[in-house]
Amino acid sequence: MEGEVKTSKVRTVIAYILLIFLSFLCLFFFYILIINSTRSHAQIMQGFSFVPGKAFWPNLKHVLQDANIPVMSGIRNSLIVSTCSALLATYFSALTAYGLYAYNFKFKKPAFIFIMLILVMPTQVSALGFYRLMDGWHLLNTLWPLFLPSIAAPAVFYFMYSYMQSSLPMELVEAARIDGCNEFRIFNRIVIPIMKPAMAVQAIFAFVTAWNNFFIPALIISDNSKKTLPILIAALRSADFLKFDLGKVYMLILIAIVPIIIVYIMLSRYIVAGVALGGVKE
């Protein structure tokens, strides 16, 4: 008995040590980012320091006043694209998953397989066709092509479909149908509250994915005032050697990370609080 208790304590200690080590690896790079954003270019070139510098406000001022890097419009564009992408991806993916979950029709299995095939297709494969399509629709150099495709998000759909299989009893849907509810009211009033934890998780992932997306915006956007933050960061990093400033680069990266942290803090409470909503048993 004592041997089992000692073994359990050893396992617990090892688990805590491993978790502390992994947390250190994850947070150490954020610490480097914050420290370097407070140091000048010359100080950063001298090597790493655990002590913050005094160039935080000068770096922030240089980033915001750079005429070639419109940071405020970049933040606005990234927020528009990421927010719209998260809303469209979560709502319409949940709606599609509900359609395949709640209905039995002839081509149900082929439709599911088709969506899964789209999931494994790389974005680069369809990039040329997507570019020509947007050119034909006169949507190049606009923000529309950056978030409208989020309506069809196979990865989000699969997560929603799997969550429905484990947390959405068909008895609730059938009872609502007997009471005379139409399908959209059932989805909006019954399914979405149950799906709130899954939708919160996928909203975070969709927001972060759209916020960090570089390939499609770089392909579509050419106007400087419509560029998103990843493109501006890349432009700042590839600046002329005589104008290159590592302090500005780290500051811009720090600015780009802050909205992601805010969105996670805002939505993470729904992940925990909404678990009870998915706990309805048949």
Task: Specify whether 12 is located in the same domain as 106.
Answer: no
SS (H, E, C) the chain: CHHHHHHHHHHHHHHHHHHHHHHHHHHHHHHHHHHHHCCCHHHHHCCCCCCCCCCHHHHHHHHHCCCCCCHHHHHHHHHHHHHHHHHHHHHHHHHHHHHHHHCCCCCHHHHHHHHHHHHCCCHHHHHHHHHHHHHHCCCCCCCHHHHHHHHCCHHHHHHHHHHHHHHCCHHHHHHHHHCCCCHHHHHHHHHHHHHHHHHHHHHHHHHHHHHHCCHHHHHHCCCHHHCCHHHHHHHHHCCCCCCCCHHHHHHHHHHHHHHHHHHHHHHHHHHHHCHHHHCCCC
Task: Specify whether 32 is located in the same domain as 48.
Answer: yes
Nearest 5 degrees, angle CA 47-CA 49-CA 50?
Answer: 160
The dihedral over CA atoms of 198, 204, 208, 210, expressed in degrees to the nearest 10, equals: 60
Task: Specify whether 34 is located in the same domain as 114.
Answer: no
Cβ-Cβ contacts under 8 Å for 95 (sequence gap 6 or more): 187
Identify the pLDDT of residue 1: 58
Cβ-Cβ contacts under 8 Å for 25 (sequence gap 6 or more): none
Task: Specify whether 266 is located in the same domain as 228.
Answer: yes
Nearest 5 degrees, angle CA 78-CA 261-CA 229?
Answer: 25
Task: Specify whether 265 is located in the same domain as 179.
Answer: yes
Identify the pLDDT of residue 185: 92
197/270 Cα distance (integer angstroms) = 6
Identify the pLDDT of residue 5: 66
Task: Specify whether 31 is located in the same domain as 80.
Answer: no
Task: Specify whether 224 is located in the same domain as 270.
Answer: yes
Identify the pLDDT of residue 238: 66
Task: Specify whether 76 is located in the same domain as 29.
Answer: no
Domain that holds residue 236: 61-278
Which of these, 90, 129, 115, lies nearest to 216 by C-alpha position? 129
21/32 Cα distance (integer angstroms) = 16
Count of structural domains, the chain = 2
One pLDDT digit (tens) per residue for the chain, 282 residues: 566 667 778 888 899 999 999 988 888 888 999 999 999 988 988 888 888 888 999 999 988 888 788 999 999 999 999 999 999 999 999 999 999 999 888 889 999 999 988 888 888 888 889 999 999 999 999 999 999 999 989 999 999 999 998 888 889 899 999 988 898 999 999 999 888 888 988 998 999 999 999 999 999 998 988 999 999 988 887 666 556 788 888 999 999 998 888 888 887 776 665 554 444 444
45/6 Cα distance (integer angstroms) = 50
* CATH code of the domain in which 116 resides: 1.10.3720.10
Identify the pLDDT of residue 242: 59
Identify the pLDDT of residue 96: 94
Task: Specify whether 147 is located in the same domain as 251.
Answer: yes
Give the tokens for residue 96: 């599609």
- Cα–Cα distances in angstroms (integers) from residue 88 to residues 37, 71, 94, 103, 140, in the given order: 34, 25, 10, 22, 20
Task: Specify whether 38 is located in the same domain as 77.
Answer: no
Which of these, 134, 147, 28, 12, lies nearest to 91 by C-alpha position? 147
Task: Specify whether 170 is located in the same domain as 225.
Answer: yes
pTM (two decimals): 0.86
Task: Specify whether 10 is located in the same domain as 143.
Answer: no
